[in-house]
Amino acid sequence: MSETSVEAAAAMMGRASWASRAFAEYRKDAVDRIVHAVASAAESHAGEYAEWAVRETGFGVAEHKKIKNIACSRGIADGYREHDYVTPRIDAGAKLVAVPRPAGVVFALTPSTNPVCTLYFKVLLALMTRNAIVISPHPAAREVCVAAARTLAEAARAAGAPDGVIQVIEQPSIPLVEALMADERTNVVVATGGSAMVRAAYRSGTPALGVGPANVPVLVDATADLPAAAKRIVESKSFDNSVLCTNESVLIVEDSCADRLLTLMTSEGAHLLDDADTGRLRAAMFPGGSFDTRFVGRDARWIAGQAGIRVGANCRVLVAPIELAMPEEPLAREKLCPVLGLLRVPSAHRGIAAAKAVLRITGAGHSAAIHSTDPATILDYSAALPVLRVSVNVGNSLGSSGFETNLAPSMTIGTGFPGRSSAGANLAPEHLVNWSNIAYNADSTVPFGDFTGLDPWRRSPEGAVPPYPHASNALDSPRRSHPSHRPPVAEGDTAFREQLRRLIVEELAQIMKG
């Protein structure tokens, strides 16, 4: 890593560390004002940044990305409006007082597939818990993420947040990212992206919250509401061209209801492939057995065209029958595009076994879906599969991510022990704050103190913090005039461009690897 990059990283982390210490003294009303201002700014740019993300990355559908951007801005702020991660919690019966302690500096990695909504989500969680955040955007979505981070940083600062509470790496590189993850002033790394980047976060020596890959099986049994299941599966699989990791990957359906379900799915925009077209699709998407990342986030008609398959104008999802769920079958792997593998099984019991086989390929710990009205089957399915969330009678894209269920709404899905992740739940604000416990003597003769109305924090909403004196990444660009704060390596540099290329290729390849 060049000297200039070292200097830039050191200045950025110094500023973030200062901002986190200042922010940790803010009261609840001040935090609420900042969160509201940032959520409003994010929501107002939801459509603009959705179109920008599609234009820059080539992934997904702008209309659907706008929905996600709104859900991860105003939706997140409203969803946690009544939650309090600032005020001490008093349990007089247990004679305990819990005092919240923010993590400090959050280093957040964001993916190319869901860049802006993930950025919005992580920024708001950090602010709710009084943390500073440094964002490392995926190089393929760098421009839109830098613009979005600047917008949110300005809104936070205008609302009274410390200058530097939100920062972004404007020219990401592998050495710079590694240096920031390992920097002693980074308190936690939150990694959303490919397996290579998540593993790097765990190796950094800094506490990390990372997630593993998905490969979602969806079982439809004979008791299911078939019209509803057909509609929900097609809508979920086509939503944003399947770039959410929670999208369905392999459809497993009981023989007794399979023909009816597939007919209903066809009326919703699915196209069932015959054996010949399935072979063409397999060859196009997995040349030499490896996934061709050109297909990530592309629509079903484009994918069909690349494979030489004729489909109707209303085609939204391609359904490809396969014989077995095994590693040698590429269509049984995760596919971040609107292509579903299809397995027909003689019974729900056999369907559960097939779903377990899908997850043995990849996706352990992540999520699964089922469409059924039989509680016994639902419970057997959930108990047998090594996943930490099972969505029932809902599209899994927005079901396991919590936007159409009562799970925590999240763009970071913990895979827990089965997925070799430190986080097992959907990432939520409580993951970015610890609680110090004041514990009184349990003897009933020892009185408990009266903490009612006490507040240890000092800063009111009007108590704005002065700007950091030597900001490395401020919106008014003081670093451009300070000799110690030159920008990182120029993007035109050949070695730097090669680093970016390798990061993109490796991450996408790891996402798709079976």
Tokens of 122: 């992580």
Sheet-wide strand order for 105-109: 166-168, 132-136, 105-109, 188-191, 208-210
Q: Who's near 17: CB < 8 A, 6+ residues apart?
A: 104, 105, 132, 185
Q: Who's near 163: CB < 8 A, 6+ residues apart?
A: 15, 19, 157, 465, 466, 467, 468, 471, 474
Q: Are 154 and 195 in contact (CB under 8 A)?
A: no
Tokens of 310: 């004729």
Render the burial of 379-413: b for 16+ CB within 10 Å, e for the rest: eebeeebbbbbbbbbbbbbbbbbbbbbebbbbbbb
Instruction: Name the helix (H) or strand (E) containing 134.
Output: strand 132-136
Tokens of 394: 């809902």
Radius of gyration of the chain (CA): 24
Distance CA 154, CA 26 (A): 18
Tokens of 428: 């939520």
Question: Is 117 considered catalytic here?
Answer: no
Distance CA 430, CA 433 (A): 5
- Measured N-to-C along each axis, helices 142-158 and 46-57 cross at an angle, to the nearest 10 degrees, of 160
Distance CA 453, CA 438 (A): 16
Question: How many alpha carbons lie under 13 Å from residue 335 in its C-beta half-sphere?
Answer: 33
- Closest to 337 (Cα-Cα) out of 351, 318, 324: 318
Among 145, 245, 257, 337, the one annotated catalytic: 245
Distance CA 70, CA 65 (A): 9
Residues serving a catalytic function are 245
